[in-house]
Structure 1
């Protein structure tokens, strides 16, 4: 299979759900300036551009895991603080473009990956020692992560200009 439009069943349902929540997140940043996207309008340290950047990085790293396991995932460096902020010189358009590139790559990978293939999780205090995740579980995690941050983004957007994207 080479096109995600040809998918059916569970795989199609999971990808459609991930796409829907990606769309919610992207809708929250539609029409914003770079300054608005970098703003932190609540008590939180989060900004809309940072959420797009974080979700992009999370999806990228988890797809490395889906293909090559923990070792592949851990090769991608993570700026644990900076991933939630827009750095000087970053633009919302650039962050959204990277988000789309990662999403397209994920969608293409998921047309062919066996959802039942599992890899041991990286060693981290938030993972059960010795646990493994299937590609299916990774996809479910990406849906949850994207959905959670789309909700955060909705609150931030409403705080910036009163726009509500999810209700």
Structure 2
């Protein structure tokens, strides 16, 4: 059995602490919901609380694989099956439970913490070719973490709107 990793300090602790805070805001929006409520659309958007949690976990997992393994982790094939798989990461399926989605999100957070403890924050990977990335751009592990942090914070705000539309509850205020 591997020895536990030491607790992060300095910049690593700051980055993980900020990310954890926004993860907590996102998780809080789902507190006390049934699976049916987590699947319910509350705005004109297709987003649901369950789908949003699933998407944020998927995105964090994918970006941290990119930080560790490079652009192949970001590759998306162009066949119809992969397009559907990509779209499914935004939806809470009929056989999925909110508890399972939250457990997966916790596991992703644990893997992120383990990677942050071991990766060089200055190490860079080339971004894959895509219309939304500058040609030849490279991101450091630090930049990836800042991106995941920003995405998590933004989606926690979306989740707050969805929850308030569902039953009037707010994360803050």
Output the TM-score relative to the length of structure 2: 0.90
Q: State how far apart, in whole Å, the 2-side matches of 1:9 and 1:100 are.
A: 23
Paired position in structure 1 for 2:155 = 149
Paired position in structure 2 for 1:55 = 56
Where does structure 1 lack aligned partners over 5 or more consecutive residues?
Answer: none
Give the counterpart of 2:105 among 86, 99, 106: 99
Paired position in structure 2 for 1:67 = 68
> Conserved in 2, the CA contact under 8 Å of 1:42 and 1:156?
yes
Paired position in structure 2 for 1:44 = 45
Query: What RMSD over aligned residues (CA atoms) do the two structures have, in Å?
Result: 1.7
Output the TM-score relative to the length of structure 1: 0.94
Q: Report Cα offsets for 1:35-64 as digits up to 9, x if no partner.
A: 100000111110000000000100010011
Give the counterpart of 1:115 among 114, 121, 134: 121
Paired position in structure 1 for 2:170 = 164
Q: Which runs of at least 4 in structure 1 moved beyond 3 Å after TM superposition?
A: 1-4, 75-78
Residue 10 of structure 1, CA deviation? 1.1
Residue 72 of structure 1, CA deviation? 2.9
Single out whichever of 49-58 and 78-87 deviates more from structure 2.
Answer: 78-87
Q: State how far apart, in whole Å, the 2-side matches of 1:2 and 1:111 are.
A: 11
Paired position in structure 1 for 2:28 = 27
Paired position in structure 2 for 1:86 = 92
Cα gap change, 1:12/1:93 in structure 2, threshold over 3 Å: closer, same or farther? same
Where does structure 2 lack aligned partners over 5 or more consecutive residues?
Answer: none
